[in-house]
Every structure is written in C-alpha cells, then in structure tokens.
C-alpha cells in the first residue's frame, strides 16, 4: 500500500488557498492508495480564535464538499478540519479528519485527540 503524506504548509484562515494546496498535492500523489494531510490542514494550523466563528467552520465544510467533488478521480485523502459537536455535552468542536473518497466526506467515529492550548474549544467524541 502506498500512502502519500501531503506536506502543504497551510496558511491559518485561508480555507480556499489551503483547499487548492490539498488538491494540487493530491494530483501529484495520483499513484497513492491513500493520501493524508496534517492536523487541521484545511483551516491552517493553529486556527485558535477562528474556531469560535461559526461562519468560518461552515465555510470549511462547504470547501470540503467542493474539494471532495474536485478530487473524485484522485486517491482517497484524509483532510484535517474541525467538526461541530451536534450534542449537548462537551465542547463545541471536534478536531477530526474527513476521508474524501468518490465525492463523499466520511467522518471517523473517533476524531484525533485534542492539543493542549485548544482544549477550550475541542473535545474528543466517544463512540457509542
């Protein structure tokens, strides 16, 4: 199995630019079985107070859907971003990775573990 690690140097807050970087790197990784971006690659790292802006989070998911459509013929890719917590318990966002495969964004059952200085925003979801 060939896994491509996409080193992108994403810019904090530049969702459109980061999405274009991911798509470009993914095209270069066309022979891979799976490509993987870094933590929060779509948002830029570390996004800090941008995570408190609901429009920013919604825009990232909209961009993810466009990226999924653009990358439909390319290898599956794990893209790091923040996922809203739909439940009443815990923090408002999950630090997660979405698997883009054949025009679908598939979320994992257990997002990645939080990092120390974003613990005010992130919370790790537990599987039922």
The domain limits of the chain are 3-118
CATH class of 3-118: alpha beta
pLDDT of residue 72: 86
Predicted TM-score of the model (pTM): 0.78
- Predicted confidence (pLDDT) per residue in 45-76, tens digit: 999 999 999 999 999 999 999 999 888 889 99
Q: What is the pLDDT of residues 92-123, one digit of tens each?
A: 888 898 888 864 444 444 444 333 333 334 44
- Residue 122: per-residue pLDDT: 41
Q: Is 37 buried (19+), middle (13-18) or exposed (0-12) by CB count in 10 A?
A: buried
Q: Which is nearest to 77 in space by CA: 39, 114, 105, 111?
A: 105
């Amino acid at each position: 199995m060939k896994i491509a690690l996409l080193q992108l140097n994403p810019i904090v807050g530049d969702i459109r630019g980061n999405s274009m970087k991911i798509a470009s790197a993914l095209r270069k990784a066309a022979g891979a079985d799976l490509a993987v971006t870094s933590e929060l690659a779509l948002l830029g790292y570390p996004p800090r107070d941008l995570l408190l802006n609901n429009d920013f989070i919604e825009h990232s998911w909209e961009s993810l859907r466009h990226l999924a459509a653009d990358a439909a013929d390319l290898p599956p890719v794990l893209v790091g971003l923040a996922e809203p917590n739909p439940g009443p318990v815990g923090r408002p966002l999950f630090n997660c990775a979405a698997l883009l495969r054949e025009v679908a964004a598939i979320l994992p059952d257990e997002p990645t573990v939080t990092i120390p200085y974003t613990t005010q925003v992130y919370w790790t979801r537990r599987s039922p």
